[in-house]
Amino acid sequence: MSKLQLKIKDHNNNFVVLNNIRNLRFTLHNDREEIRDIFSFGWRKVLDCAGSRHITIKINGILDSVLADELLRNSAMLNSNNDYEISFNAKEKIRLRCSVELYERYYDPAAFDSFTVILASAEVVNTFH
């Protein structure tokens, strides 16, 4: 069974792990750029020059780490970029550098410390690891 995790790199270059992810949504953005002479490139180069591929990720879950809450909150307030990793299972991972576009924390006792975060890639995303 795969286990979805969000990992946030802290100030000591260690990952803080959030395990209780309820759902995750990817939105891919591709801003097209003009390529003048595709015949002078190989096919990989043409794909690499096809546009600036950016990702927006919306994650909902239950917050199980005080440190993760602090990292997400500070990143949102300071508008800083951090390193994140999303693990779908032991072999499938995505590593990217993102800013926090939105961070919502619900303090309702019935919501069990639920949160929503929207991460926007700060760099062009070319490959998934």
Residue 87 binned pLDDT confidence (cut-offs 50, 70, 90): confident
Indicate if the pLDDT at residue 42 is higher than 70: no
pLDDT digits (tens, 9 = 90+) for 57-78: 999 999 988 999 999 999 999 9
d(CA 66, CA 71): 9
| 87 contacts 117 by C-beta, under 8 angstroms | no
The dihedral formed by the CA atoms of 33, 34, 39 and 45, expressed in degrees to the nearest 10: -20
What six digits make up the tokens of 66? Answer: 């005080």
Q: What is the average per-residue pLDDT within 32-50?
A: 53
Q: Which residue has the higher pLDDT, 9 or 34?
A: 9
Percent of the chain with pLDDT over 90: 44
Q: What is the average per-residue pLDDT within 35-60?
A: 64
Domain edges within the chain: 5-121
| 33 contacts 108 by C-beta, under 8 angstroms | no
